[in-house]
Amino acid sequence: MNIEKLIKLAYTAREKAYTPYSNFKVGAAVVTENNNIYSGCNIENAAYSPSICAERTAIFKAISEGESKIKLIVIVGTNDFTYPCGVCRQVIKEFAKDTCKIIVANNKMEYKTFTLDELLPYSFGPEDLRR
């Protein structure tokens, strides 16, 4: 998968972000195990709690289209490197393959690659409920 292409897709999604309160725009692109790509942006709400992050928007779009697992996610924010929040990390855990890579990119097309275990050590997931 071409990382630069995915970063550009995340940038494009970021431009669609609805952020009238924070003006902190985030875009994400998700690649599923079927190699389909879904993008998403963050969407704010005046009540704050109904807001949703770009990562979750992209993942939920994929799942709503019948996908079951993601294998890669790219995140770009307004500033330097933007990492997924705790809620997004938990959602990634729910729908990620064990080998899922999480890429955070800055505005200079530089990026860092992480595993989910690096960003969410000692996590709780579906496998913990099947014991």
Residue ranges of domains in the chain, CATH in brackets: 3-129 (3.40.140.10)
Catalytic-labelled residue, pool 15, 55, 65, 118: 55
Instruction: Clarify whether 55 is annotated catalytic.
Output: yes
Spatial separation of the C-alpha atoms in residues 34 and 47, rounded to whole Å:
36
pTM: 0.93
Listed in order, strand segments (DSSP E) in 10-110 are 27-32, 37-41, 70-76, 96-105
Model confidence pLDDT, tens digit, residues 12-57: 999 999 999 999 999 999 999 999 999 999 999 999 899 999 999 9
Model confidence pLDDT, tens digit, residues 60-75: 999 999 999 999 999 9
